[in-house]
Amino acid sequence: MTHSSSTLSVPSSAAMPKHIAIIMDGNGRWATRRFLPRFAGHAKGVDVVRKIVEACADRGIGYLTLFAFSSENWRRPEEEVSLLMRLFVTALEREVGKMHNNGIRLKVVGDLSRFDAKLQDMIVNAERKTANNSNLTLTICANYGGRWDVMQAVKKMLAEGDATTSANFTEDELAQHLAMAYAPEPDLFIRTGGEQRISNFLLWQLAYSEFYFTETYWPDFDDGELDKAIASFQLRERRFGRTSDQIVKKQKAS
Ligand code: IPE
Ligand code: IPE
Ligand code: MG
C-alpha cells in the first residue's frame, strides 16, 4: 500500500502521531562528556533504540523511523565506521528474534550495496522474517540520504516509464518510488543532541512534519522525553497551507 501526500488531508491535531522519525544524535558527545570512547555512546544508543521501539509500540504508533547512518557518515574515521558496522550486525543478531515475537516489522532503507555481503544478507533475512508483522513498522535508515532517495526514485521511475510520458510524472508517482513508499509521511520529526538541522534525512517526506528539537543526547533519551515530544506535537495546529479558521471548522464538522 502507498500513501498519498499528507498535505492532501488534515489529520486531527490532538491525535497521536502515526509516524515518528528521529535523528538519533549526540552519542559521541554523551561519551566524551563521561571520558569514554565515542563507541560507548553508540553502544548505549542501541539500548535506547530498543526502549524507544517498545515505547512507540505501547503507544500504538504505527511507524517509527530512525536515522542510524547517513550517506555522509562514511567520512568519519575508519575505526568508528567499522565499529558502527559491527554494532549494526550484533544488534540484528540479538534483536530480530525479539522484534519478531513482539509483532514488529523491520525495514532497512538506504543504499545497502555499500555494506558487506554478510550484513546485506542479515538485512534481507530480517526483513523477510518480520514482513507480515503488523504492530509497528520500524525503519532503520542506513547509508541513507534524502538526496540519494529522491535521485533513486526519479531514476527508477524513468527507467520504468516510456520516454514520451516520462517527463509528465506527478508528485504522487515520484513519492511512490521513494524508499519508504510503504509508510505515510512522518507527522513528528525529533532530533536529539541539540543540533537544529536535517543533515540530509527525509527531505521529501518532511515537507509538513512537525519538528521537535531537544538538547538531550540520544543515550539519555527515554519514554518521558518521547512523551514530551508527543505532547508538544499535540499542541501544534497543522494547517497545511490553510487558515486557522478553516482548520477549526473542519475539526468541528468531524
Ligand atoms: C549519532 O551520534 C550517531 C551516528 C551518527 C552514527 P553522533 O556520533 O553523531 O554523536 P555526536 O553528534 O558526535 O555527539
Ligand atoms: C546525522 O547525524 C546522522 C545520524 C544521526 C545517523 P550527524 O551527527 O552525522 O549529523 P551532522 O554531521 O552533525 O550534521
Ligand atoms: Mg552527530
Domain positions in the chain: 19-253
CA angle 198, 199, 205 (to 5 degrees): 50
**Beta partners for 108?**
140
Ligand 1 centre distance from Cα of residue 100 (Å): 28
215 within ligand 2 shell (Cβ under 6 A)? no
Spatial contact of 198 and 30, defined as CB atoms under 8 Å apart:
no
The per-residue DSSP string of 107-127 comes to: EEES-GGGS-HHHHHHHHHHH
d(CA 11, CA 239): 10
Query: Is residue 173 annotated as involved in ligand binding?
Result: no
- pLDDT at position 14 is 63
pLDDT in tens, 136-157: 999 999 999 999 999 999 999 8
Residue among 47, 58, 73, 121 flagged as catalytic: 73
Architecture of domain 19-253: 3-Layer(aba) Sandwich (3.40)
Distance of CA 187 to the CA centre of its chain: 11
Alpha helices in the chain (DSSP H): 27-33, 38-58, 78-101, 117-130, 146-160, 171-175, 223-235, 244-253
Q: Which residues of the chain fall short of a pLDDT of 70? A: 1-14, 162-166
219 within ligand 1 shell (Cβ under 6 A)? no
- pLDDT at position 194 is 98
Q: CA neighbours within 13 Å on the CB side: how many for 68? A: 29
Residue 3: which of 152, 163, 208 has the closest Cα? Answer: 208
Spatial contact of 11 and 187, defined as CB atoms under 8 Å apart:
yes
166 within ligand 1 shell (Cβ under 6 A)? no
70 within ligand 2 shell (Cβ under 6 A)? yes
Does the model's pTM come out above 0.75? yes
74 burial type by CB count under 10 A (0-12 exposed, 13-18 middle, 19+ buried): exposed
Ligand 1 centre distance from Cα of residue 131 (Å): 29
Query: Is residue 210 annotated as involved in ligand binding?
Result: yes
What does the block give as the cell for 254? Answer: 468531524
Q: Does the annotation mark 73 as catalytic?
A: yes
> Which residues fall within 8 angstroms of residue 252, CB to CB, at 6 or more apart?
none
- pLDDT at position 163 is 61
- pLDDT at position 162 is 67
